[in-house]
Amino acid sequence: MRRRLLLLGALGAGVARARPREQRLEIAVELADRNGRPIAGKLPVTLWRPEGAGPFPLLLLNHGRNSRQRAERKPPRYPAVSAYFVAKGFAVALPQRLGYGASAALGDPEAMGSCRNPRFAAQLAAQATQLRQLVTALAAEPGIDTGRLVLAGISAGGMAALAGAAELAPLAALNFAGSLGAEPQLRPGQPCASERLADELRRLGAASAAVPTLWVYADNDLRFTPALVRRWAQAWRDGGGQAELLQLPPHGDDGHHLFSQQPERWQPAADAFLARLPLSVKEPLP
């Protein structure tokens, strides 16, 4: 019994040593909204690091969007998902983009306009511009290797990762349930102007043909149908982009939350995807 207790104590110490280190930063960015009006502010960024001095490859993880609750949004942390990527050897940066939380009063640079005539190109450009400035600032952080960059995001953040792939030429991008213009309460399964979004994805795929991307969706996401997801992924490929699509079985009442509520379902695919990149990431987690 004493030997077993000693072993458990050693294992507990190992877990404590492997616990990610959390840091808070503020990074200044500036951009123009869809009407050309300049907006500038400081983004709160949560930065998780592995133990050690690094340098660590950087994974930039982007949050989603709720246009009706922008001011109430807290800076993202995603501790369980971040811990997974930190255990793989990444430093994980989670910015809160302009127009959310404390910066909501400055305006909404990611506003798409009307559902009938959405300005997806401006929305995606606003996201990509912020990511570019964030990566430039994070390059000055000790122990961060922005030359080994991976972009990721959930929902509108998944689209931000794809927009950033065209802007920043990262090693890879991971798109979790990415979409724009979705209103699940008003139009379940029918986002605004889905064909126009397909056109934008075709354009972005052409601009990031060398970047491998992983797309992860659940069958019962209330924001869009599996058929639309396949249409968007094919539009990316039609432009010349690489898209590996993982369509997972339903999760709860709304598969949109699978990313954070049941990450063990997508992590094996992420393990295999990341293992093919020139990153020297760690082995799949048990």
Tell me the domains of the chain and their CATH numbers.
21-275 (3.40.50.1820)
What gap in Å lies between CA 146 and CA 136, rounded to an integer? 8
Condensed to tens digits (0 to 9), the pLDDT of residues 62-81 reads 999 986 788 888 899 999 99
Whether 4 shows a pLDDT value over 60: the answer reads no
Q: What percent of the chain has pLDDT over 90?
A: 75
Condensed to tens digits (0 to 9), the pLDDT of residues 145-162 reads 999 999 999 999 999 999
E strand or H helix at 24: strand 21-32
Q: Integer distance in angstroms from the first to the last C-alpha of the chain?
A: 25
pTM of the model: 0.90
Q: What is the mean pLDDT of the chain?
A: 90
Condensed to tens digits (0 to 9), the pLDDT of residues 98-137 reads 989 989 889 889 998 899 999 999 999 999 999 999 999 9
Condensed to tens digits (0 to 9), the pLDDT of residues 21-47 reads 899 999 999 998 878 889 999 999 999
For the chain, the C-alpha Rg in angstroms (whole number) is: 19
